[in-house]
Structure formats: C-alpha cells, structure tokens
C-alpha cells in the first residue's frame, strides 16, 4: 500500500513522520526503514528503524529512486514499512514522473507486502487528480 502525506512546508509532516515511524516500529514484526535527503532526522528517529540518507547513495530522479526501493525490498524480506521524507527533493518536481513512480511503487508494495509512505511538500491542489485516492492531507 502507498500513502502520501501532503502539505506545504511547516504543516507538521515531519512530526507525523516521526510518529508514524514509532508506531510502525512498535507494530512491526520486521524492519522499518526511513529514507531522507540529508541527515536531519538522525536524532529524531528511534534507533530501531533504519535511517537512510539518499545523498550517500547518489540517488536522484524517480528511476534511480524506484530502483533503490526495489533493491531494498529484494534484499530484505522482513521489510514491512518504508517511510520517505522529502520525496520531491529526491525525485524531482515533475509530477508526470512522480505519478508514474507512485504507480510503480504501488505495484511493488503489493508484490512485497510492504507499506510505503511518502511525505510530499506541496499544496494538494498542485498534485495531479489521479493521486487523490492515495493522498492524506495534513
């Protein structure tokens, strides 16, 4: 399952990410991964979750990002949750590519039984209507 948490900067998405991570770790019988661009969440995320900085792996663009997520799932069968901060900073602001990425990730989520949550710093009106069914307002 893919979930989008959408809101402008300063609307509480990061606080929601921290709470989601803690809930996922408590309820998971497997591994929880948090992905961000940079390392600002290092001291906010529980040590029980794996924190990955995309800058360490030179991930830019949605194709590279999807390949990275696929590799995470392929290499870790116990992966239950992937929570991503700064999605548009990692993949880019091309919403056509973003929709394609979300659709492919939704298929990956179903195949691997992994929950994906993406934080998107944008006004919900900026997103294509095809994403309305999976986005959550902040």
Residues 43, 83: Cα–Cα separation, whole Å: 16
Give dist(CA 114, CA 133) in Å, integer. Answer: 18
DSSP β-bridge partners for residue 81: 32, 115
Residue 135: pLDDT band (50, 70, 90) is: low
Q: Which residues contact 117 (CB under 8 A, 6 or more apart)?
A: 2, 3, 4, 5, 17, 20, 81, 82, 83, 84
Task: Give me the pLDDT at residue 43, please.
Answer: 65
Mean pLDDT of 93-104: 93
pLDDT reported for residue 96: 92
Determine which of 25-29, 88-92, 109-113, 130-134 has the lowest per-residue pLDDT on average: 130-134
pTM (two decimals)? 0.90
* Structural domains of the chain sorted by starting position, each given as residue range(s) with its CATH number in brackets: 2-137 (3.40.50.300)
- The per-residue pLDDT for 91 is 95
CA atoms of 65 and 71, how far apart (whole Å): 10
pLDDT, tens digit, for every residue of 25-62?
998 899 999 998 887 777 677 888 888 999 999 999 99
Which range, of 3-17, 94-108, 121-135, averages the lowest pLDDT?
A: 121-135
pLDDT for 126:
85
The alpha helices in 28-123, defined as continuous H runs, are 62-75, 87-91, 95-112
What are the backbone angles phi and psi of residue 36, rounded to the nearest 5°? -145, 165
């Amino acid at each position: 399952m893919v979930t989008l948490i959408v809101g402008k900067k300063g609307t509480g998405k990061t606080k929601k990410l921290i709470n989601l991570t803690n809930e996922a770790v408590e309820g998971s019988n497997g591994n929880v991964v948090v992905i961000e661009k940079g390392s600002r969440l290092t001291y906010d995320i529980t040590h029980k979750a794996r924190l990955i900085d995309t800058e360490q792996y030179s991930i830019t663009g949605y194709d590279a990002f999807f390949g990275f997520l696929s590799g995470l799932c392929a290499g870790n069968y116990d992966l239950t949750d992937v929570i991503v901060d700064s999605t548009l900073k990692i993949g880019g602001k091309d919403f056509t590519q973003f929709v394609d990425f979300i659709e492919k990730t939704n298929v990956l989520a179903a195949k691997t039984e992994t929950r994906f949550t993406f934080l998107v710093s944008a006004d919900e009106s900026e997103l294509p209507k095809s994403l309305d069914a999976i986005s959550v307002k902040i």
